[in-house]
Amino acid sequence: MRSRFRVLSILALLHAYIGWRLCTGLELGIASSILVALGLVLSCTLMPLAVFVDRIHDRIAWAGYLMMGLFSSLLVLTLLRDLVLGGLWIFSLLTPEISFYSALAVVTLGSLTSLIGLVNARRLARVVHVDVPLKNLPTALQGFTIAQISDIHIGHTLKRGFLEAVVNRVNGLNPDLIAVTGDVVDGDVERLGAHTQPLAGLKARYGSYLVTGNHEYYSGVHQWTEEFRRLGLSVLLNEHVTLEHQGATLLVAGVTDFSAARFDPTHRSDPHAALAGAPEHASHRILLAHQPRSAHEAEKAGFHLQISGHTHGGQFWPWNLFVPMQQPFIAGLDRLNDLLIYTSRGTGYWGPPKRFGAPSEITLLRLVSA
């Protein structure tokens, strides 16, 4: 409760800061300033409701998340404006005209990026084709395809129709295997079960495999694990399966979310445990892990490829600049010694319906010889 009070207090101060700087910069009159103040109060009220109240009406959540996206851009741009104005003031170059037009630019750019971000977030994710070069890949596994979807976040603003479109696009790729790398939902089974039904329609030669993300743990992981299995997905909780493909053996493992032990100690993420009992003849080992930071232990365990999500690629500027503070890899294909890591930017979005500079994706990974 105290932590939420601190968050709300900081949020109110930041809204007040934006209002003060922009109203003075635009030289607004009393009536216009009151309207701006009312809008900021509404934003400061709806944003916490959207985040903290799970069973709030979807329309209220929509309003709160839209305001969150706009607020984020206005805050960053206002801070940048003040830094620039401070420098101009030091050198006696600041004029009323610069103050006015810079404030107008903040409002214009904040609104424009939010609008573009809304369009980018709501459209169906594009397909990204990625060749994954693996050493000593058997000829039989050359061209083996894995379709990845991640971070869909079915909840208040993304519903069944969006997921149906995703499933149809994935099936159209005719993959050998489908990997669902966590954060499918934001809410409990009772509220969202009907909206996740399209997952039952996923089709691949060797089936669909899912690992839990941190949002599954926020939403009731045990119920969701049962529901995903009922829908026909194979949920890998620190375990593996082996697939025989044209005479070659491919091992596919999955770990629980990196932070899972905070919610259930028995779900502690462990790439080493995921390999328990693995056959020696499995030529290549693939790990599904929601967070890229599982890579260090995955590399020690002897995996060849890790497929992850979680980061959203930052989702929208400037938050992509802060992701490296928590995760070693942000988006795309990276290497850690002998381990390749592919990190998806995500298929949906969390919170604000906004993607700017980090497009959503459905990924088709193709194994090729290095």
* Contact (Cβ atoms closer than 8 angstroms) between residue 30 and residue 9: no
* Domains of the chain listed by start with CATH number: 2-122 (no CATH), 126-369 (3.60.21.10)
Name the pTM for this structure: 0.93
* Contact yes or no for 156/50 (Cβ under 8 A): yes
Average pLDDT, the chain: 94
| Residue 279 CB burial class (10 angstroms; 0-12, 13-18, ≥19) | exposed
Question: pLDDT tens, 133-144?
Answer: 999 999 999 999
Q: In this structure, are residues 303 and 253 in contact, taking their beta carbons and an 8 Å threshold? A: yes
Element (H, E) at 22: helix 2-25
User: What pLDDT is recorded for position 283?
Assistant: 80
pLDDT in tens, 233-269: 999 999 999 999 998 999 999 999 999 999 999 999 9
180 three-class SS: strand
* pLDDT at position 127: 98
pLDDT at position 282: 85
